[in-house]
Amino acid sequence: MMYDVAIVGGSYAGMAAGLQLAQTRRHIVVVDTDQPRNRFSARSRGFLTQDGKSPEDIVAAGYAELAQYPTVDWHKGEVETIVGEVGDFTLTLAEPRAAASSFRARRVILAAGVDDDLPALPGLKERWGTHVFHCPYCHGFDLNHGHIGVLAHSAAAMHLALMLPDWGKTTLFLNDAFAPDKWQLQKLDERGTHIEHGAVERLAGEGVKVVMADSRVFPLEGLFVVTQTIPSTLALRLGCEIETTPLGRVIKTSAAQATSVPGVFACGDIARPVGNLSLAVSDGALAGQAAHHSLVFDL
């Protein structure tokens, strides 16, 4: 079967794209690994009508809405390769399930999200998404204005260190990663951000405690860190132009979420340096409409 659009990634952006296309009664297939980026978090914040709900509940509600449309097929699996050109792409699964090993589609939407390259600090990976975060808009409110930390991995930590005092008493752990200049020190002081010098040795405790190399310990409600995003290798193999940002690599797209490869669109975290649920859904809706326009007008 030749699908009109194949969507790689069935989380928030992918489902939003699919919902737009479902309205057109075009035949689409969504291929998903069931590994959303925020799967470790208890709650998601800032998405209208879904504020404070768990990621799995929001994903389940989206899936239920898409499942109502007879022209939408859903397959669990990982797309390993995409070959072809606009009008005739072939997507092959890494581990074929049942009879489905590949799909053909006229257009492709990449919504597979990103991986986070985390600092190699003992105890950090185990607390990712539960006590260690990257987005204050997604997680800051639930810290109840408690003590918050920012772990410096580079000078990019300044951005979080200046923002986070709105969510709680903030400490910037320089971690021997960078030294703020005079202007930066002045801005940190104006925001009331405390500075701790010295290297961080590890994270410990049932919640999160920052343990310094000199044995000092700082209990926190939450710790924030700037990660580097890594996009799906599918985009690289397809030849999509990649943009390097201070927060990592993302697929470069047009205002209509089109990539540099004709017939291929991208949306969500894979195509923007700053991601959250609301922005992913917005990008996905735009990508779905743009893919439909491309089909109608043979773009």
Give ranges for CATH 3.50.50.60 in the chain: 2-115+227-297, 119-225
Q: Which pair of tokens denotes residue 154?
A: 């580079």
Token pair 């030849």: residue: 239
Q: Are 222 and 149 contacting, i.e. CB atoms less than 8 angstroms apart?
A: yes
Q: 119-225 belongs to which homologous superfamily?
A: FAD/NAD(P)-binding domain (3.50.50.60)
SS3 of residue 69 by DSSP:
coil
Digitized pLDDT (tens) for each residue of the chain, 299 residues in all: 899 999 999 999 999 999 999 999 999 999 998 877 777 677 788 888 888 788 888 888 999 999 999 999 999 888 999 999 999 999 999 875 555 688 999 999 999 988 888 999 999 999 999 999 999 998 999 998 999 999 998 899 999 999 999 999 999 999 999 999 999 999 999 999 999 999 999 999 988 999 999 999 999 999 999 988 888 889 989 999 999 988 889 999 999 999 999 999 999 999 998 878 899 999 999 999 999 999 999 87
May I ask the CATH architecture of the domain 2-115+227-297? 3-Layer(bba) Sandwich (3.50)
Q: Does the pTM of the predicted model rise above 0.95?
A: no
Q: How many angstroms separate the CA atoms of 201 and 103, rounded?
A: 48
H or E segment to which residue 202 belongs: strand 200-204
